[in-house]
Chain A
Amino acid sequence: AQSVSQHNHHVILSEAASLELGCNYSYGGTVNLFWYVQYPGQHLQLLLKYFSGDPLVKGIKGFEAEFIKSKFSFNLRKPSVQWSDTAEYFCAVNAYTSGTYKYIFGTGTRLKVLA
C-alpha cells in the first residue's frame, strides 16, 4: 500500500539554525508532492508543491524542497529558521492508483523554534 513517512516527529531548533525535515513515500508511479503547514490555531495551508520540472521547488517563507526520485524523497529545507516557523509540517503525496486518486499524508513533524 502507498504510504508517506516522516521520520522526525518532533524537532526543536534555535533561531537561525538550518532545518531539514525528511519525507519518503512508497509509490512507483507518477506522483505530485506537497508540503503543508499548520501554524498554532490556524488551518492547514500549502507550503509548496512539486509536479514536474525542476526538482528543487521553492515555497513561501523561504522554504524549499527537493524531489529525489531515486530515493522516493521530498525533504523540506530552510537555511535559517525563525520563531514564527513553529508549526506542524505535513508531507503529502497525490497519485492515481487502483482507479482512483489517492491523497496520502504523513503523520506530521512538530517543529518548535526557540527564540
Chain B
Amino acid sequence: GAGVSQSPSNKVTEKGKDVELRCDPISGHTALYWYRQSLGQGLEFLIYFQGNSAPDKSGLPSDRFSAERTGGSVSTLTIQRTQQEDSAVYLCASSFAAGGPSYEQYFGPGTRLTVT
C-alpha cells in the first residue's frame, strides 16, 4: 500500500527565501509528525498534529517555522527567511494515533533542504 510521501525530495534555496515542504501521510492515520535530521544530531522533534490541531509545537526552533494540516491529511511545513543552519533532512511520519501501546510511526523519505 501507499506509504508516507514527501515533496520535494530535494530543495536548494537561497538564504532569506521561504520554502514549503509537503507531507502526505498514510490514509487513515490521524497523527502526523515533523522531525529534522541533521548530521550527528539525530532526530529533532519539531511538531505533531492530531487531526488538524497541533497539541505540541514545542520543537519548532523559531517563529520562522510554522506548519499546518488540512482535512486531517496533508501537512505543510513552512520555513520563512531561510538560514544556512536550516539545512537538514526534514522527515515526516504518521501513525494511527498519537499514543498508545502499538502506535508506531511510519516515516517518509524526507526532504533534503540545502540553504546556500
- The chain A residues found within 8 Å of chain B, CB to CB, are 9, 32, 34, 36, 43-46, 49, 51-52, 90, 94-96, 99-108
Task: Provide the B46-88 mask, 1 if CB < 8 A to any CB of A, else 0.
Answer: 0010100001100000000000000000000000000000000
A105 CA / B48 CA spacing, docked (Å): 14
Decide: B56 and A108 in contact? CB cutoff 8 A. Answer: no
Decide: A100 and B42 in contact? CB cutoff 8 A. Answer: no
CB distance from B70 to the nearest CB of A (A): 21
A43 with B103: in contact, given A103-B48, A106-B42 (CB under 8 Å)? no
A100 with B56: in contact, given A32-B101, A49-B102 (CB under 8 Å)? yes
Decide: B45 and A105 in contact? CB cutoff 8 A. Answer: yes
List of B residues within 8 angstroms of A102 by Cβ: 56
Closest to A47 in B: B104
A108 with B43: in contact, given A94-B99, A103-B33, A103-B48 (CB under 8 Å)? yes
Decide: B99 and A96 in contact? CB cutoff 8 A. Answer: yes
List of A residues within 8 angstroms of B35 by Cβ: 105
